[in-house]
Structure 1
Amino acid sequence: MGFERPWLANYPKGIAPEVDLEKYPSIVAVLEETCREYRDNPAFANFGKKLTYAEIDRLSTQFANYLLHELKLKKGDRVALMMPNILQYPIAIFGVLRAGLTVVNTNPMYTARELRHQLTDSGASAIVVLENFAHVVADVVADTALKQVIVTGVGDMLGFPKGPLINFVLRHVRKEVPEYELPGHVRFTETLALGARHQLPAIDIRGTDIAFLQYTGGTTGVAKGAMLTHRNLVANMQQSSVWIGTNATMGKEVIITALPLYHIFALTANCLVFMKFGGLNYLITNPRDMKGFVAELKKIPFTAITGVNTLFNGLLNTPGFDQVDFSRLHLTLGGGMAVQRAVAERWKKVTGVTLVEAYGLTETSPAACINPMDLPEYNGAIGLPIPSTDACVKDDEGRMLPVGEVGELCIKGPQVMAGYWQRPEETAKVIDADGWLHTGDMAKMDAQGFFYIVDRKKDMILVSGFNVYPNEVEDVIALMPGVLEVAAVGVPDEKSGEAVKVVIVRKDPALTAEQVKDFCREQLTGYKHPRYVEFRNELPKSNVGKILRRELRDSAAKA
């Protein structure tokens, strides 16, 4: 029997099973087309300042010229970017790509140890860093292959008087720029002035060239660079834009980009796909300041927003969010971690728009499955495999499992990475001989071809031989009105091997452990009940807001 694709019968109207993978040879080709067609449209905005596509075209060309002519970088060299969401980021991304170089996205919150690893592993020749984090680069620069450090300030692209004022306040009033010594560094604005003196040469950028080294897997040990080629990302732009494009108007979209651009979700879904649409990416520099974020949202006539569950939950629990104008909003896309039913239902109630869950990985550029855009309400699924993508569920022996059975979710498609940078043995562990990427997520497929994540393979809790999936326990507890956030982990137990422990951030300070246990007794089978309930003021999270269960497990093991 051949490989069956039940999802195709449930594709939204007008979406073909395959996309045109040959239309654009590179991300640069997409950018150049957009800059021609939407020259005068605003492309990126931050702190009220907008840059048009014509300006992005000019500035990214200047930055590319600087890298090629002044730094003399060669095709395939790597350039690290270490910034939050500011206007310099897209200029730098597109500049690096136009020069035929590779972007190494770098989390600005990295410690010196993490940064040293990423810079030495990638062999980056240059780095663009926000001055707030330049002291960390200064700590490690001697151990790296960096030829040039380029420093920028939050206000550098915001114009006069706003830009200098913001820089002054951050440096001298809020004292958010620690002192650093980086002899020979240049300012980002200076690189643009130097680049303006040169002409951009014709560069042969191929689909197989590496566009991004996207580091991942830090939670399972040493971070590895996923090699994402131009072909991988163009494929994913084509796939995602066909899927969400039924719900988008070319040249008219305004997307809120609160997740950082160094994260693959915002990089592809916001920066690249909405660039292809000729849309405006509104960059939020510090979404953790929820009050400031909501104040910003009140000023923006936005049509789309992406985020992770914790971001949506945070917005819903911020005073004033229900007074934001949602009349133009038609697309809310959730990914990066499981969307909880309680959050999705509340989002729909407040905004009138369904929170559509999507699924992907760094290794899949990232989109692999997305729910139909016309979904009437949250359905608990991660959606259907998008065009030109196959998905299946395999057991530990690598056999495909039938409908309804739980196994490891595997993905195949043109968006699957070329492999891990300089780690062929790690690549072989996740991409099998038939080209299937093993995701490490436990899932099942229903008869309609919708996939459901049951949990991470390694997050599964084994209680007396029974599998307990933390997502299920968390989803139930999240329904309690007194709960703000919850995470479930397995802790060692003499009798049952492991027991369920939940860590809760309270919305109602009067909430007790006994109330939580009583609620779970009504909702969950005995072996899924939390044995231990701990209350904390906050949960440990990654920089994109993903709850770090590993840290909770580690602290429970030490206790």
Structure 2
Amino acid sequence: MAYDADTSIDLTQYRSLIDLIESSAKRYGDKTAYVCLGKATSFNEIERDSRYFAAYLQHHTELQVGDRIAIQLPNITQFVIAAYGAIRAGLVLVNTNPLYTERELIHQFNDSGAKALVVLSDLLPTLNNVVASTQLKTVITTHALDLIAPQPQSQCEFTTITFTKVLAEGSCLAFTPVSAKLEDLAALQYTGGTTGLSKGAMLSHRNLIANAMQIKSRLSDRLVQGEEIFVAPLPVYHIYAFMVNLVLYFERGGCSVLIPNPRDIASLIKTLSEHPFTGFAGLNTLFVGLCHQPEFKSLNFSHLKVTISGGTALTQAAANVWQATTGCTISEGYGLSETSPVVSLNAPGLEQLGTIGKPVIETQVKILDLNDQEVPPGETGELAVKGPQVMSGYWNKPQETAMVMTQDGYFKTGDIAIATEDGFHKIVDRKKDMIIVSGFNVYPNEVEEVLSAHKEILECAVIGVEHEHSGEAVKAVIVLSSLSQDLEQTKADILRYCREQLTAYKVPKIIEFMESLPKSTVGKILRRELRN
């Protein structure tokens, strides 16, 4: 097998994501596109329901082409319908983590200027204060089981409409087709920032289509048109699963099996037992966790030919136990929200463990020193990327965009890498302060900002420490404003406060109290000394 099936990608086959969605639905018709909670939905049904959704937005909301719509859902078929419907109506997607707190939601919705939200009804209590503090005018709610049988929705203090009612009303309305160009904005994919505030990476129709074609070439003969069944346990609001399941596999006529709650291992294994799955994506913790389950070991893996790992470094132990259990190797890749996301990927069967593979086609990579000059072969430096999948910039942040782009158009990833003689790359370090918890980026400044607002805290620093289950855990080192009589009670109070302000994976797992923090001569806290 060649490392890539193509020497270049053809961006003339689709005029936009709208064209890709509609063409693929027509091409594959009655074949199953998605399975969720036991219900199969065909390509034709996805096309129909997303058209109804788009028609409702066109007739019953104030949304105009180019406006932003946030989707805050787990892996359920409603996510797909809403995303495709919004794209077909000419809107810009704002993929939103269902676990976000009020503070995080208000920032993301205000920064993006989102005017509409599609949200899981279970999350409505969190939104009571959010909606009043944002530009949201339309809130569409859905229960996970609504497409199987409509369910009662949670009560809230603002006006909402149910997803099922949107589809019912949309079915009676005329849909006006929207024309989009490859250069048009398709999604704002929010990523953490070293300033502590998340930034919206502006991804165009071209970015997303190009990356799908790049991955398709790399997977080559492991991606047979109309025949694949790919299990999706990773959240589709994350760019990694969004690209694989909502763009690539849909375009290829594959079936994506959506897993709403991958933490329910028993339910996940039961779902796997019901499908002759050919592809799977995960992280270290999921690979290892599954392989320790007797029920998983007894599954039929004879169809499995692609396993992809991304989001965090793949360990030797995880790769070994997965291959021993399933007979399938793991292809580790590398990417970022800013690159739609895939920059490089090991080709199945040709993997070099410990590397992120080779750059996908039409992707140029440099390794730069601190002055943005390319380092000699064999030396480490910051990985920089140029290609059709690279974002146009950060939403409404020209200065931050300028900071990450070189004069010749390369995006500086902030990750330290080294190239091997045969063209593979290894990530040897990350952005010096970023913490990765189960594949999710945690930026210390954001956590420190929250901690610093606590009345008992004088100053603090946040670092990452090794953790056997999540790869890394968040540790907070704190100097109290006054001597506490009961440190355990103070610690409990701080943790309770953090849980109110931060998504669970950002909450410190470890709190240590110190009398003072190490600082530089200009008073900057030295996190590296705390790590050491």
Question: TM-score normalized by structure 1?
Answer: 0.78
Match of 1:225 among 200, 204, 212: 200
Match of 1:150 among 136, 140, 146: 140
What corresponds to 2:67 in structure 1?
A: 77
Q: What is the Cα deviation at residue 184 of structure 1?
A: 2.3
Give the direction of change, closer, same or farther, for the CA distance of 1:208–1:298 in structure 2 (3 Å limit).
Answer: same
What corresponds to 1:273 in structure 2?
A: 248
SS at match of 2:82: helix
Task: Tell whether 2:164 aligns with 1:189.
Answer: yes
Task: Tell whether 2:322 aligns with 1:332.
Answer: no
Query: Could you tell me how far apart the structure 2 residues matched to 1:371 and 1:58 are?
Result: 37
Query: Could you tell me how far apart the structure 2 residues matched to 1:48 and 1:331 are?
Result: 23
Query: Could you tell me how far apart the structure 1 residues matched to 2:272 and 2:205 are?
Result: 33
Q: What is the Cα deviation at residue 317 of structure 1?
A: 2.7
Contact map agreement 1:345 1:378 (CA 8 A) in 2: no
Residues 459-498 of structure 1 aligned to structure 2 (within 5 Å)? 459=433
Task: Tell whether 2:417 aligns with 1:443.
Answer: yes
Contact map agreement 2:304 2:328 (CA 8 A) in 1: yes
Match of 1:345 among 295, 303, 320: 320
What corresponds to 1:517 in structure 2?
A: none
Query: Could you tell me how far apart the structure 2 residues matched to 1:149 and 1:134 are?
Result: 10
Match of 1:311 among 259, 281, 286: 286
Q: Which amino acid aligns with 2:333?
A: A
Query: Could you tell me how far apart the structure 1 residues matched to 2:284 and 2:158 are?
Result: 42
Match of 1:35 among 25, 49, 62: 25
Q: Which amino acid aligns with 1:322?
A: K
SS at match of 1:314: helix
SS at match of 1:293: helix
Q: What is the Cα deviation at residue 226 of structure 1?
A: 0.6
Deviates most, 210-219 or 432-441: 210-219
Q: Which amino acid aligns with 2:326?
A: T
Deviates most, 24-33 or 282-291: 24-33
1:149-198: CA deviation from partner (whole Å, max 9, x where unpaired): 1111111112xxxx35xx47xxxxxxxx8x54143210011111111122
Residues 104-115 of structure 1 aligned to structure 2 (within 5 Å)? 104-115=94-105
Query: Could you tell me how far apart the structure 2 residues matched to 1:421 and 1:504 are?
Result: 36
What corresponds to 1:421 in structure 2?
A: 395
Contact map agreement 2:346 2:352 (CA 8 A) in 1: no
Q: What is the Cα deviation at residue 51 of structure 1?
A: 0.6
Task: Tell whether 2:396 aligns with 1:396.
Answer: no
Contact map agreement 1:344 1:378 (CA 8 A) in 2: no
Instruction: Name the % identity.
Output: 41
Residues 451-462 of structure 1 aligned to structure 2 (within 5 Å)? 451-459=425-433
Query: Could you tell me how far apart the structure 2 residues matched to 1:37 and 1:334 are?
Result: 30
Contact map agreement 1:308 1:546 (CA 8 A) in 2: no
Contact map agreement 1:337 1:546 (CA 8 A) in 2: no
Give the direction of change, closer, same or farther, for the CA distance of 1:343–1:131 in structure 2 (3 Å limit).
Answer: same
Q: What is the Cα deviation at residue 297 of structure 1?
A: 1.2
Give the direction of change, closer, same or farther, for the CA distance of 1:420–1:558 in structure 2 (3 Å limit).
Answer: farther
1:530-550: CA deviation from partner (whole Å, max 9, x where unpaired): xxxxxxxxxx99xxx9986x9
What corresponds to 1:430 in structure 2?
A: 404
1:211-236: CA deviation from partner (whole Å, max 9, x where unpaired): 11111115751011111010110111
SS at match of 1:458: coil
Query: Could you tell me how far apart the structure 2 residues matched to 1:555 and 1:279 are?
Result: 46
Query: Could you tell me how far apart the structure 2 residues matched to 1:268 and 1:34 are?
Result: 15
Q: What is the Cα deviation at residue 270 of structure 1?
A: 1.9
Q: What is the Cα deviation at residue 300 of structure 1?
A: 1.6
SS at match of 2:181: coil
Q: Which amino acid aligns with 2:276?
A: P
Give the direction of change, closer, same or farther, for the CA distance of 1:505–1:130 in structure 2 (3 Å limit).
Answer: closer
Give the direction of change, closer, same or farther, for the CA distance of 1:112–1:328 in structure 2 (3 Å limit).
Answer: same
Query: Could you tell me how far apart the structure 2 residues matched to 1:364 and 1:14 are?
Result: 19
Give the direction of change, closer, same or farther, for the CA distance of 1:286–1:13 in structure 2 (3 Å limit).
Answer: closer
Q: Which amino acid aligns with 2:357?
A: G
Q: Which amino acid aligns with 2:302?
A: S
Q: Which 5+ residue runs of structure 2 have no aligned equivalent? A: 438-443, 445-462, 471-497, 516-532
Q: Which amino acid aligns with 2:114?
A: A
Query: Could you tell me how far apart the structure 2 residues matched to 1:269 and 1:14 are?
Result: 17
Q: Which 5+ residue runs of structure 1 have no aligned equivalent? A: 1-10, 169-176, 461-469, 475-488, 490-498, 507-539
Q: Which amino acid aligns with 1:370?
A: L
Contact map agreement 1:341 1:378 (CA 8 A) in 2: no
Residues 72-221 of structure 1 aligned to structure 2 (within 5 Å)? 72-158=62-148, 163-164=149-150, 167=151, 180-217=155-192, 221=196
Q: What is the Cα deviation at residue 421 of structure 1?
A: 0.6
Alignment RMSD: 2.7
Q: Which amino acid aligns with 1:61?
A: R
1:377-396: CA deviation from partner (whole Å, max 9, x where unpaired): 55211010101101111111
Q: Which amino acid aligns with 1:221?
A: G
SS at match of 2:56: helix
Give the direction of change, closer, same or farther, for the CA distance of 1:52–1:213 in structure 2 (3 Å limit).
Answer: same
Q: What is the Cα deviation at residue 402 of structure 1?
A: 2.3
Q: What is the Cα deviation at residue 504 of structure 1?
A: 4.1
SS at match of 1:320: helix
Query: Could you tell me how far apart the structure 2 residues matched to 1:501 and 1:14 are?
Result: 38
Query: Could you tell me how far apart the structure 2 residues matched to 1:57 and 1:99 are?
Result: 13
SS at match of 2:35: strand
Query: Could you tell me how far apart the structure 1 residues matched to 2:425 and 2:233 are?
Result: 27
Contact map agreement 2:4 2:361 (CA 8 A) in 1: no
Match of 2:36 among 46, 55, 67: 46
Query: Could you tell me how far apart the structure 2 residues matched to 1:556 and 1:347 are?
Result: 36
Residues 55-70 of structure 1 aligned to structure 2 (within 5 Å)? 55-70=45-60
Query: Could you tell me how far apart the structure 1 residues matched to 2:504 and 2:327 are?
Result: 25
Q: What is the Cα deviation at residue 454 of structure 1?
A: 0.5
1:492-534: CA deviation from partner (whole Å, max 9, x where unpaired): xxxxxxx99644469xxxxxxxxxxxxxxxxxxxxxxxxxxxx
Q: Which amino acid aligns with 1:264?
A: I
Give the direction of change, closer, same or farther, for the CA distance of 1:399–1:358 in structure 2 (3 Å limit).
Answer: same
Q: What is the Cα deviation at residue 340 of structure 1?
A: 0.6
SS at match of 2:280: strand
Q: Which amino acid aligns with 1:45?
A: V
What corresponds to 1:480 in structure 2?
A: none
Give the direction of change, closer, same or farther, for the CA distance of 1:194–1:505 in structure 2 (3 Å limit).
Answer: closer
Give the direction of change, closer, same or farther, for the CA distance of 1:15–1:135 in structure 2 (3 Å limit).
Answer: same
SS at match of 2:396: coil
Query: Could you tell me how far apart the structure 1 residues matched to 2:396 and 2:402 are?
Result: 12
Q: Which amino acid aligns with 1:456?
A: R
What corresponds to 2:277 in structure 1?
A: 302
Question: TM-score normalized by structure 2?
Answer: 0.82
